[in-house]
Chain A
Amino acid sequence: MLKVENLTKNFGELCAVDRLSFEVTQGAIQGLIGPNGSGKTTVFNLITGFLQPTAGRTFFKDREITGLPSHAIAQAGIARTFQLVRVFRRVTVLENLLSAPKAQRGERILPGALQTPQVRREEREQLDRAWDLLSVVGLDGVANEYCGNLPYAEQKMVELTRALMTDPDLILLDEPTSGINPTLVNQILDYIRMLREARGKTFLVVEHDMRVIMNLCDRIVVLNYGEKIADGTPAEIARDRAVIDAYLGV
């Protein structure tokens, strides 16, 4: 589904990502880990078009997406969350979700302001979807609250649910469990697994928490100083000498 080929990003003299290549197959939950500063979020930004690569190419569903602007990549079917949650704070939870779906007729100013029958029909459909998604994660009680007033963990769930409203094929999660109470972490992991089983979503997850990654992912790519040092199953990664060295760091 996603293929990254020799992806490289230089910031002046600093090489943040160095000839990175890996693949994510459809329906996988893949991890991207590495010590602090290894370039994980930079890779996400490169894939999703928020940064332009210095070299290398990215392919999504066999179509090249290198160099496309971020909104075009999102339109192609890749959704993402951010390390520091980015919800629309002074907007309600429902409005956050409703702003997500792609190709809404009402987002063109004329049909939108006129509230044409088609616009109203789409609104009702998306509203139903939004309520359903919120029920599944137990947030329907706060649907009409300003998102900025919610506790951090709930904001993260809103961000994830909002990303789902775009009906993506691939979802990039940037540290989905950071800042979350350990008891809630399992709920999130279950949710991710359910989305894969029931709705066929593919995930690429950046995480710091090793237990989460080992628990959750089918495959893991390990970065260190912008380079790939390992690529395999959790069992393989746990045994990999290079990975152990990188994390214990000499």
Chain B
Amino acid sequence: MPDLGLLVHLAVVISIYGILAISLNLIIGTTGLFTIGHAAFFGIGAYTSAILAKLGVPWILAALAGIILAGLVAFLIGIPTLRLVGDYLAVVTLGLGEIMRAVFKNWIPVTRGPMGLPGIPHAAILGLRFDTAPKFLILSVICLAIVFFIAERIIRSPFGRVLKGVREDETAAQALGKNTYRFKMIIFVTGCGMAGLAGSLYAHYISYIDPGSFVMWLTFFIILIIMLGGLGNNVGALVATTVFVLLREGLRFVALPEGLNPAALQQLIFGLLLIVVTIFMPRGLIPERKITYDRERDHAQS
């Protein structure tokens, strides 16, 4: 009989990673912007929220600050990069990930560097403190539900239609009069802000963060998840998140030959898996949901 505490913990992790997956899916899956710095925004949200909360700021405001700061950084790097060929965004976000890690590690007066930030206060809304794992699960699931709902609404809206147009053929979208730069910027900031929310949740759940939590590998893990779940398909993303979080947990218990680095092995396996999946199914395992219209009924269904 699996430990209930462990299950609750995994559920929290799944909901936090789920937010990361959905937000990245909006950027990469729906809009086709290849970014590989999501861990950086996760980290910005986490550190901002943690630092402010430790200074006494109520969680809601601290989390909001994390979201806004993540969005702001996204905006700043988006200004030059979103007008350029897609590869630039990829490398710039890669570098951002490295820069933020350097910031977390070296800006000691603020982030305490490699020693990390312990003692992060519990999340609380109007006096209700989420100080146990089951209580926090409620909070994280609600946040996940909100993010999922918003993401689905965006995808189905005319705004989301333009995003797909940008993904499919940005030139054609511009020829239709769409200011594609504006659309890309808005979704990029939104997605990165959501990652900031996930960061805040993470910080207030684990109560301790250090630079090592926000490494490139995390971004890669999320990319793997959305590729397997199907680009643009948020239900698929959630399923894949569950599978992979459980898989990663399960790998911890697999007996390994002496001296074999488990983290490296995981990286190797998942890396190869992503290569194979991408080559054979470049849009991911589960296709995007198709939006269809019935002439008689005259409204969208899918």
Contacts and interface: CB of A to CB of B under 8 A. Distances in A.
Interface of A: 48, 50, 69-72, 74-75, 79-80, 82, 86-92, 94-95, 98-100, 102, 104-109, 112-115, 119, 122-124, 127-128, 131, 140, 143-144, 146, 159, 162-163, 166
Interface string B142-154: 0000000010011
Contact of A109 (B171, B175, B186): B186
Main secondary structure of the interface of B (DSSP, over half): helix
Interface in B150-174: 150, 153-154, 157-162, 164-165, 168-169, 171-174
B293 interface: yes
Contacts of A104: 158
B177 A98 contact: no
A144 B283 CA distance: 20
Contact of B159 (A108, A146, A159, A166): A108
A166 B154 contact: no
B159 A107 contact: yes
A114 B176 CA distance: 24
A99 B153 contact: no
Contacts of B3: none
Please list the 6 inter-chain residue pairs (A to B) with the smallest Cβ-Cβ separation, ordered nearest first: A106-B158, A112-B157, A74-B177, A88-B168, A112-B159, A86-B172
A106 B173 CA distance: 16
B293 A143 contact: yes
A112 B171 contact: no
B54 interface: no
Given A124-B298, A144-B292, A91 B174 contact: no
Nearest to B154: A113
Contacts of A94: 292-293
Contacts of B9: none
B161 A95 contact: yes
Interface residues of B, number: 37
A185 B199 CA distance: 57
Contacts of B171: 50, 70, 82, 86
A106 B157 contact: yes
Contacts of B153: 112-115
Given A75-B177, A107-B162, A112 B168 contact: no
Contact of B164 (A86, A91, A122, A143): A91
Nearest to B155: A113
B292 A92 contact: yes
B25 interface: no
A70 B174 contact: yes
Given A71-B177, A88-B164, A123-B158, A131 B172 contact: no
A237 to B, nearest CB: 29
B158 A107 contact: yes
Interface string B276-302: 000000010000101111010011100
